[in-house]
Structure 1
């Protein structure tokens, strides 16, 4: 009740705070900007005559160690906000109110440098030294930033200059292969698909495995912001770093920082645009029409010649062209800075009617007033997305499935112009008709507003109040005509569905951050309070048996099925709240001995009355050995730091109300000659429902050699997750139903991560930087039961293969890792062409005599090793980026081969050309050998990809309007080295049945991009 009381109180006080704040601040900032611009010709007060000393102008040039000019360097008069930025020639001019002082030069990737000027010295030239992994590099952590040299936990940072180049679909694809331990895969070429992301293994059975995503301090998703608008991505990998986020930190935290306006600059505009096309990476080789007719002549069972020559895959593919435009406008003066970003993406896939159109607007304004006492921020962003949608999703997998296995002698259309169909066959539909006789649309509108006020009442103390609202609205509509397969096969006579949802997430956070340095001691303290509320609403209805196709999905009431009780109509609403209190202390002595300790206490309305709150502590230590006297003068070792940390994080279920008694009205009973609606409990309540708890130990090493030209980061982790949520069988009675969601299971993940960076060549005209990332993970189920809830068998099955097989693919078992394929191990075929498998006694036996307990582990779908090699070259104005990556030590279940390498499936459609090849060197499978899940279809999935190659040319201009131009060409997913026989070995890595190459998957593609970047 405490949570509900405080939540409602906070809602009444802060409910409209962020909306009012954003409107007021935006208006205020706009007026301030206009005022500042209008008054730009007036000399600021601090540039007026000072004690009889006239202002002076300092000029100079900033270069790197090769004497090449550095444009964009911030030059600030120390102790003031007076500053300038170097131009394309590295030159600057700064008018200062005094004839002596110190200038501070800062630039990303270079060591901050100070230079003094005195009376009569008005020219100050500076040479900046680069730092590959400098200890002064600023890294974003939870609720703040920290110098890399102070970090004691496992944190990875990737800046925009090191992002994956070319066409990317979301934020995760920018850092694919860039962070050791972070697995980012793109299983297909669907333009609406997002990358699958997993950090340090699977840690849960029922909950989400996706890391928490924070964008400029506000929760979001990988698609909440345009990739071209991102400045840096930081990943909190271990428990000690992520524990500050409590229940949301178990899967790690991805912190996204959008592009900002820095220093003092006049208004500038940047345009980034590119065009992309695609090709399918690999076509599965099915019999063409001529080859198929040979099967007809051989009188193969099921072979039928319909008289045409049709390449079905070509009928549904297209030559797509995608376009992306990003416009960035920014500017700043001493007190106010702003950025306006507009991103438009018109993405088209290789399959017809697959598209994705998104517009991302963002406006951010920052203002400092009262000599820095008060800082204000307002941010409005979001996106509007539209794409061709199908019922229940974005693209129907049966379109591709039918396109690869339909009879190639069947025509697309009948002589009368209707689409040719054979509804007598099972699971067999004309894919062109599936596209053309359906109409659908998905629309998503996400409005994200946030505002903050930061008060600095005394030096080094910042008190910040943040309010945000993320409002996501979805509309979906879909219809099928009277000529669609659903009418011809299922008698629907026209089908339509509509749905909508609204998800609102409100956040209020109050934090105080204090930093004090005295003697050799440095202390930073953070204290905060967080309140978050999520409100989700949805509606869905379908109908069929329509009088006409004219209204698509816009006249749902015209169908007759709903009135007959044969269609679906439902609505839903849920709400949950999360309240957290947190504290963190960072301490360092002489920058040698480092300590971080934090704790978060969090309460959630999703959990039972006995476990509303949980505590999530963390601690980590570090030793900068390079600071010790015995290494201080060592010219080989540039930096050496040892780290160790321990933290506890949690996971909450995605579904609320599991701890409560719930009722439903979806059953009826027959009383006195009529059906009466019955009210009954819908599930078993669990008042002891609580957090999943992950305890993680991490030990790390950061090493730099040869002035940090060679840097190494290595981490070992061991994480144990207990109280895992799972649906357990229970006795009835005492329970009303035979299952309940409870905390009982546990699992372990441990592994090693290594990141090696080498500035191999650093000459005047040629630069080569290379990076190698390696990670390994070992997963193990420790338990599936506790004293209250047991899974007596010690295992459960996951994944499922559709008819005619209808069997699970994987088994989750105590003592085994997640991802095990579980089926019959085939070792031979008999003389008639039927499978021979190994029985439970280890002896061969015919598959017709197989029993369920003859199944065994026949592979694992999760890679044991990940490796990436990234290279950046530059020669004068040219640059070349090559990223390569691979996964090793895993298997893939090739489901297309299960169905289409079996001669018996010729009765349903087409087959792979290998269907009649000899098996085990003997003979082809028998024509009557049923489709079977055996180890013959489990293949080595290891692969190595040339993932991205980008060649660019940078042209510095001295025109009045255009400062610089960059043109580039890029290719992604260019070449894959693998023994896998499917279309692409990069398959799904999430869930409890990973490694399955779905026969319905959208085809994998290679992309080719041509783009330009203009700076005005």
Structure 2
């Protein structure tokens, strides 16, 4: 809002009866029906009106005195909205003998050429605050030709003073905030400390309106309060949001590709310890799966817009501070992140052509800012419990289950089982292998700087005790980021991450046939002296104690250094031309030491077993970037050129020793082992790239992006190492067209279209070369000597997998951006797949990687953000996103045939399930007689005769469904009132099928392992839901598949931010407390361990409650 300070003139009283200036101005737009944008097309117009148009276009505050602009007019050709604001201000102010200054709050103050210090300070909102006076708005500018009239002074009723403080969401002062009494011309602005003072009527209901550029306008009923404090909520939609697009940034309004940004607001709403948690369910088209419930929570898979590859990687490329990052996305500390941008279509990802076909995730870390030193602390502690425990049989139930097993050759109890049953001391292995978990994190950051240099230094300590016994994880990270302006044309930047991860200790075993999930409850966990048994079931020496891994001496540490450094030179001899060199250096060292003593099965059978492992990874990146950016009238051009070189090498050394004289001499005395088996490996790969990108904009309405990238990869065949990946994208900002000015409810409307080619080289080095493997052989004299045998065929034609993508998009905003969103429709066609196909073994090889096969993905994505309510300090916002993706294999080997051995079928999804179909249970002899399963009995599994040939065999296999979801969705509702805020996040998937191993009765023919409690069929229970307790009931042991669609109450967070006045008494800038819950409820028909995790027989997913605090000084 433009604020004009009207002087109360005595002449107003003498003239009598004349309306005040503000009154006349308020009528102008109603009489003329013209907006500020329409008026600027006239030959001459008032300076006040032009300033109003500039305010609307550039989203800034502009402040001035009435007397400065009275009678001043501006020619229409003096304004060019494609130029920066300051250039337009110079054009229109200089002829009028005026100038401007920019305040610290971002407002522009109009002053005279020789403005007095007093006059400037009165207008500067970052100084002592504006004097209390009547205000007028841009809509109140005088119509052309109207004689300015003085403002009337009015006799006020009894008044009382009102004071308060305005802060942002971090509790920091907001200077220059407009505070007005609703329905009047009365108001003021906050001073440098965010304070304001105002006189209001003693009687009547007074409502204050708080407004500030970039924040949601709020209203507050005063009542009988003498102090009204308020926290302004950032309105990111009202700003020209800037997103990172790779090798630069762009205003969101100028984007032509499909890019989704996650800002710091979303990242700080929840106590996340890895990025995947923040992204899951927040971005349409982004599929994130947790593979288990381990303490580290970093075993995740990420897929953007469906699977393009069949056997090569589908993981997106990670860019950290401008440089490719080879570590896991979960290794990046979320506390240090400023923003995350996901590039999804060909145009957006084409700048990373060689690895952009699976999408790109760009992570940008926090930087320092000019101003006083800022200290921020963020910490939380929480507890974890099992989200869904399988309903396993107790010892007594298992005893009855085994005894009642029909058609089993041996259902008699072993002596140890009988002894446990008689004692009644049954083993609850699930309880023994789990514990109450915890998660705590402490982060401390210091930032600041001046005009010459800024810095951000953050340190974080994360400590997690998982719900699996002995599943511990600790992470220490340090992030020093610096920006130094060496000269006006030379800038140096350094961003580094140093981390140490401690995964020492092996968790209890949940996997396998004898893991905690299915271990026989009639077994013995402990010896009489309280130590763990080596064999929990003495008569069955394959039954290792699931708790035994916790006894192993294990060291597992990862040391990582990742640093990016850049030097930017603004070349003075060509305006708009700059050169930047980026370097990235990444070192990782893995150290693992494990010793299994004789108190474990592995150590007992090998007389002690030790493993020493050392691994090193090194990555080096150098990027030379040349950028030219200029505006010529209505034409804006940005040209970026790149030459990049990246090398990576990895080496590993491992030695395994067995046969130690005792359990005292372990990993550090490997020479005492009877047998040592050393292995080592080394690999190296190189990438070389050139890229050229052109961004063109005409009048901010018509947009064009052209990109071409050429990449070379050392791992491909000699003649196929290089690939070229072009793309084109166009955009049309319809909202900026003149004919759209008569559609007042539409704030933003932009059409986007892109088409391009991306590549994928996600195979390990040397895949194009023939390799040898070591094999030992025995000579005629009996000596054992090493030898070599061919292990892989060469393929000199191995080259790039490529994906052609078409994307059509629509961005929209309505009702002053209270509702905004985007819709994208896409088609991805991938060819020359890097396919690890099966071949005839007649040559001694059964597989080879070739460029063969095609896949396709097509879908639609929707994201909508709305402000549903904003009244009297209460706000309610909703963020919704959803996506629909169809994946299918188009071709495999060029002959139209399926590959049943690998489970690949033309026309079906990559992860389709092809198997025999469970068709319920035989309920009667008549049903058996009418089926092909003539030897079955009532209570047996019925298998569907899919081809109706009267027999059950492999030909009856059918498609059971897709293991990847057809639909993804997320819904976030945020409610805030005064200092309280409540966030509720629901995430889910639909149309997905998974195997449920817990339903199956795979207890072995002699009932060796436990099973879940079921509604077994018996003659007395013929309508049971599960087949009979009979070894032949599911003789073919067919898999059971279930609908794994789910909706999960993923997160709930309740926070309270203390009032600014109280916080300042505590000598702080901000103080916030919160409680958060994760995985609180899941709604699904899936009866397995959890519909989300990949391994249903591993550590279960955890539910957690966290308590946290944020404070800043």
TM tier, smaller = 0.7 to 0.9
Matched, 1:707 2:816: yes
By how many angstroms is 1:166 displaced? 3.6
- What is aligned with 2:247? 143
- Alpha-carbon separation, structure 2, partners of 1:246 and 1:555: 50
Flag the 1:216–1:1003 CA change in 2: closer, same or farther, 3 A: same
Q: Does 1:727 align with 2:841?
A: no
2:940–2:1028 contact (8 Å) kept in structure 1? yes
Match of 1:245 in 2: 352
Q: Distance in 2 between matches of 1:285 and 1:679?
A: 51
Q: Structure 1 residue 434: deviation in Å?
A: 3.5
The question of whether the paired residues in 1 share the 8 Å contact of 2:911 and 2:964 is answered with yes
Work out the CA distance in 2 between the residues paired with 1:335 and 1:173: 37
Which residue, out of 415, 425, 428, partners 2:543? 428
Q: Determine whether 1:444 maps to 2:558.
A: yes
User: Are 1:913 and 2:1020 an aligned pair?
Assistant: no
Alpha-carbon deviation of 1:853? Answer: 3.1
Are residue 645 (structure 1) and residue 748 (structure 2) matched?
Answer: no
* Candidates 273, 278, 283, aligned match of 1:169: 273
Matches of 2:195 and 2:904 in 1, distance apart? 60
How far, CA to CA, are the matches of 2:587 and 2:710 in structure 1? 27
Give the Å deviation of 1:962.
Answer: 1.6
- 2:855 corresponds to 1:747: yes
Q: How far apart are residue 338 of structure 1 and its match?
A: 0.4
Note if 1:385 corresponds to 2:501. Answer: yes
Correspondent of 1:887 among 989, 994, 1001: 989
Paired residue secondary structure (2:379): strand
State how far apart, in whole Å, the 1-side matches of 2:655 and 2:886 are.
Answer: 45
- Summarize the Cα distance change of 1:226–1:91 in structure 2 as closer, same or farther, 3 Å threshold: farther
What secondary structure is seen at the aligned counterpart in 2 of 1:719? strand
Secondary structure at 1:133's aligned position in 2? helix
1:767 corresponding residue in structure 2: 875
Does structure 2 retain, via aligned residues, the 8 Å contact 1:389–1:477?
Answer: no
Residue number in structure 2 paired with 1:79: none
Secondary structure, in 3 states, of the residue corresponding to 1:870? strand
SS at match of 1:647: strand
Check conservation: 2:866, 2:879, Cα contact below 8 A: yes
Question: Which residue of structure 1 aligns with residue 1045 of structure 2?
Answer: 942
Higher RCO (C-alpha under 8 Å, 6+ residues apart)? 1
In the other structure, the counterpart of 1:579 is 688
SS at match of 1:431: coil
Paired position in structure 2 for 1:1010: 1107
SS of 2:986's partner is: strand
Distance 1:423 1:460 in 2: 79
| CA distance in structure 1 between the partners assigned to 2:874 and 2:212 by the alignment | 24
Contiguous gaps of at least 5 residues in structure 2? 1-112, 138-163, 177-189, 198-210, 218-230, 923-935
Are residue 852 (structure 1) and residue 972 (structure 2) matched? no
Secondary structure of 1:928 counterpart: coil
Looking at structure 2, the residues matched to 299 and 519 of structure 1 have their Cα atoms a distance apart, in angstroms, of 86
**Distance (whole Å) between structure 2 residues aligned to residue 415 and residue 760 of structure 1:** 65
Residue 936 of structure 1: how far off its partner (Å): 6.4
CA offset digits 1:242-272 (Å, max 9, x no partner)? 010011111111111111222x211110000
Q: Hey, what does 2:532 align to over in structure 1? A: 419
Are the counterparts in 1 of residues 750 and 812 from structure 2 also a CA contact under 8 Å? yes
Residues 1:975 and 2:1085 aligned together: no
Deviation digits for residues 791-835 of structure 1 (CA, Å, limit 9, x no counterpart):
x8521445xxxxxxxxxxxx2211211222222112244325433
Aligned residue runs from structure 1 range 200-349, under 5 A: 200-220=305-325, 221-262=328-369, 264-295=370-401, 301=411, 304-305=417-418, 306=420, 307=423, 308-349=425-466
How far apart are 1:917 and its partner, in Å? 4.4
Q: Secondary structure at the match of 1:314?
A: helix
Q: Aligned partners of 1:152, 1:973: CA distance in 2, in Å?
A: 37
- Structure 1's 975 and 502: CA in aligned 2 closer, same or farther, altered over 3 A? same
What is the alpha-carbon distance in structure 2 between the residues aligned to residue 690 and residue 91 of structure 1?
67
Question: Structure 1 residues 146 and 892, CA, compared in 2 at 3 Å: closer, same or farther?
Answer: same
Q: Which moved more, 1:545-554 or 1:139-148?
A: 545-554
**Which of these residues, 592, 597, 606, is aligned with residue 481 of structure 1?**
597
1:812 equivalent to 2:929? Answer no
Task: After TM superposition, give the deviation of residue 369 of structure 1 in Å.
Answer: 2.8
Instruction: Report the CA distance shift for 1:597/1:962 in structure 2 as closer, same or farther (over 3 A).
Output: same
Partner of residue 685 from structure 1, selected from 776, 794, 810 = 794
Q: Distance in 2 between matches of 1:230 and 1:353?
A: 30
Q: Relative to structure 1, is the Cα distance of residues 351 and 664 closer, same or farther in structure 2, using a 3 angstrom cutoff?
A: closer
Is the CA contact 2:508–2:550 (under 8 Å) kept in the aligned structure 1?
no
Change (3 A) 1:559 1:881: same
The answer for unaligned runs of 5 or more in structure 1 is 1-49, 77-84, 93-104, 112-126, 563-567, 799-810, 989-996
The answer to whether residue 726 in structure 2 is matched with residue 617 in structure 1 is yes
Higher deviation after alignment, 717-726 or 283-292 = 283-292
Structure 1, residues 738-786: CA drift from partner, whole Å, max 9, x if none? 4321100110011110001111112241011101111011011011114
Classify the secondary structure of the residue corresponding to 1:326: strand
Q: Which residue of 1 aligns with 2:7?
A: none
For 1:964 and 1:624, locate their aligned partners in 2 and report how far apart those are by CA, in whole Å: 40
Q: Which has the larger radius of gyration?
A: 2
Counterpart-to-counterpart distance in 2, 1:109 and 1:796: 58
| Aligned residues between the structures | 887
Paired position in structure 1 for 2:1055: 952
Query: In the TM superposition, what is the alpha-carbon distance from 1:896 to its structure 2 partner?
Result: 2.3
Q: Please say if residues 903 and 925 of structure 1, whose CA atoms lie closer than 8 Å, have aligned partners that are also in contact.
A: no
Which of 977, 981, 1000 is equivalent to 1:875?
Answer: 977
Task: Report the equivalent of 1:633.
Answer: 742
Q: Which 10-residue stretch deviates more, 403-412 or 857-866?
A: 403-412
Aligned pairs for 1:19-58 within 5 A? 58=124
Contact residue 836 and residue 844 of structure 1 kept, 8 A: no
The answer to whether residue 482 in structure 2 is matched with residue 365 in structure 1 is yes
Tell me if structure 2 keeps the 8 A contact 1:265–1:332: yes
Are 2:379 and 2:1109, in contact at CA under 8 Å, matched by a contact in 1? Answer: yes
1:406 matched to 2:510? The reply is: no
Matches within 5 A, 1:830-869: 830-831=936-937, 833-839=939-945, 841-842=947-948, 845=951, 850-869=952-971
Q: CA deviation at 1:693?
A: 0.2
Q: CA 1:86–1:683 in structure 2 vs 1: closer, same or farther (change >3 Å)? A: farther
CA contact (8 A) 2:509 2:515 kept: no
Q: Distance in 2 between matches of 1:68 and 1:143?
A: 37
Pairing partner for 1:561 from 675, 684, 693: 675
CA distance in structure 1 between the partners assigned to 2:897 and 2:742 by the alignment: 62
CA separation in 2, counterparts of 1:541 and 1:91? 71
Distance 1:854 1:487 in 2: 47
What do the CA deviations read for 1:215-240 (whole angstroms, capped 9, x no partner)?
11122241342111111111001111
Q: Which residue of 2 aligns with 1:354?
A: 471
Q: Is the 8 A contact 1:138 1:148 kept in 2?
A: yes
Describe the superposition over 1:446-494 as per-residue Cα deviations: whole angstroms up to 9, x where unpaired: 0112211100023422210111200011011112111212255xx2222
SS in 1 for 2:955: helix
How far is 1:836 from its partner?
A: 3.0
TM-score, length of structure 2 as denominator length? 0.75
Shift in Å at residue 590 of structure 1? Answer: 0.9
Change over 3 Å in CA distance of 1:729–1:549 after alignment to 2: same
In 1, Cα distance between the equivalents of 2:404 and 2:839? Answer: 57
Q: Find the counterpart in structure 2 of residue 508 from structure 1.
A: 622
- 1:645 CA drift (Å): 0.3
CA pair 199-636 structure 1, distance change in 2 beyond 3 A: same
For 2:570 and 2:1055, the matched residues in 1 are separated by 44
Bigger mean CA deviation after superposition, 964-973 or 427-436: 427-436
Once residues 546 and 508 of structure 2 are traced to their aligned partners in structure 1, the CA distance between those partners, rounded to angstroms, is: 12
1:497 to 611, 618, 621: 611
Separation in structure 2 between the aligned mates of residue 759 and residue 920 of structure 1, nearest angstrom: 55
Map 1:589-604 to 2 at 5 A: 589-604=698-713
